[in-house]
Amino acid sequence: MDAFEYAAPQNLQDAVTLLAEASGEARPLAGGTDLIAQMKEKRRSPALVVDVKKISELNVLSYEAGLHIGAAVSCTQIAEFEPVRVHYPALAEACALIGSYQIQNRAALGGNFCNAAPSADAVPPAVSYGATLVIAGPGGQREIPSEDFFVGPGQTVLEKGEVLVEIVLPPPPPRSGASYLRFIPREEMDIAVAGVGSFVQLSPDARTCEQARLVLAAVAPTPVRAKEAEAFLTGKALDDTTIAQTGELASQAASPISDVRGSAAYRIELVKVLTRRTLGKALERARGEAS
């Protein structure tokens, strides 16, 4: 690990100033489960590490006119927060998939976004729920749709001096449900070979789909929405045939690579299977059938 400066500001403005004025690369530190490993392996060598864990705005966890999650809130806190378990079960389940219990106690949802790994588990459900990101920087605050945050592997739209403050999820609409599933070679503590987050909102008679969001993980340079599949699903009955066709269309949004963990063709087939399964679970939840 290369030498670096360390700062632990107590407020958001000081953090923004430190990040903006740093000479060389500066990185915020929330949980550190990715950043510290990257620094040890010299994949990142920031001149300054800015510890944001003590900043109040980044530690908010509340459910009022939607879900507000500060960027430094740990996965354990999110998964155990009752409003998340009740209203956003797909996010709770994804947060409980990340690494070991020890990792979950440290890893932050903001870090899962800012690390910008295509395989990030908590990102697809957050995007499928329609999350918005609040970003602070030298020019003030701005908000962007969560799916617009990613530029490439390890790259985001954050500019110099900017820090992710909060992830905001709107209240789930009536007759809606979501689910996230991934495939991993081992039973636990592995990185997704492919993952899919599905969200559906049903019509008042619960027979057709009014709205759908399908988000794929680990099968493209960034998390990606399968918009053609979403459009196909909208207005249709969620029967087995329609769900299978949606899986086929969702796989067309994937542009995976082949590596030691799986071939591109294998990942495409996984997208089809995971889309079918997550849509089935989302449908159960939208109808109030899931336990």
pLDDT in tens, 56-105: 999 999 999 899 999 999 999 999 999 999 999 999 999 999 888 898 89
Token couple for 75: 């996965």
Q: Give the start-end residues of each E strand in 86-222.
A: 132-137, 140-145, 150-152, 155-156, 163-169, 176-183, 194-202, 209-217
Distant-in-sequence, close-in-space partners of 235: CB < 8 Å, separation ≥ 6: 208, 209, 210
Determine the angle formed by the axes of helices 264-286 and 240-251, rounding to 10 degrees.
140
Selected from 3.30.300.170, 3.30.465.10, 3.30.360.10, 3.30.2230.10, the CATH number assigned to the domain covering 56-169 reads 3.30.465.10
Are the beta carbons of 125 and 197 closer than 8 angstroms? yes
pLDDT score of 24 more than 80 = no
Instruction: Note whether 71 and 63 are within 8 A (CB).
Output: no
Contact 104, 189 (CB under 8 A): no
Residue 99 has what pLDDT? 83
The domains of the chain are located at 5-51, 56-169, 176-286
Q: Which CATH number fits domain 176-286: 3.40.50.300, 3.40.50.880, 3.30.950.10, 3.30.390.50?
A: 3.30.390.50
Separation between Cα atoms, residue 253 and residue 41, nearest integer Å = 33
DSSP alpha helix (H) spans, the chain? 12-21, 35-40, 75-80, 82-87, 89-95, 101-106, 109-114, 123-128, 227-233, 240-251, 264-286
Amino acid, res. 137? G
Beta-bridged to residue 162, according to DSSP, are none
Q: Are 250 and 174 spatial neighbours (Cβ–Cβ below 8 Å)? A: no
Q: Collapse the DSSP code of 187 into the 3-class scheme (helix H, G, I; strand E, B; otherwise coil) and give the result.
A: coil
239-247, Cβ contacts within 8 angstroms, sequence gap of 24 or more: 243/275, 243/276, 243/279, 243/280, 244/276, 246/214, 246/275, 246/276, 246/279, 247/271, 247/272, 247/273, 247/275, 247/276, 247/279
Q: Which residue has the higher pLDDT, 187 or 255?
A: 255
Q: Which fold has domain 5-51?
A: 3.30.43
**Structure tokens belonging to residue 30:** 């929330």
pLDDT tens across 259-269, in order? 988 999 999 99
pLDDT, position 114: 94
Query: Averaged over 11-17, what is the pLDDT?
Result: 96
Residue 186 has pLDDT above 80, yes or no: no
pLDDT digits (tens, 9 = 90+) for 195-240: 999 999 999 999 999 999 999 999 999 999 999 999 999 999 999 9
Do 198 and 282 meet the contact criterion of CB atoms below 8 Å apart?
A: yes
CA angle 226, 80, 158 (to 5 degrees): 50
Residue 88 three-state SS? coil
Among 231, 124, 247, which Cα is nearest to 179's?
Answer: 124
In three-state secondary structure terms, 179 is strand
When pLDDT is averaged across residues 147-161 and rounded to a whole number, the result is 95
* Phi, psi angle pair for 186, to nearest 5°: -100, 170
Q: Would you place residue 291 in the very low, low, confident or very high pLDDT band (cuts 50, 70, 90)?
A: low
b or e along 82-112 (b: 16 or more beta carbons within 10 Å of the residue's beta carbon)?
eebeebbbbbbbbbbbbbeeebbebbbbbbb
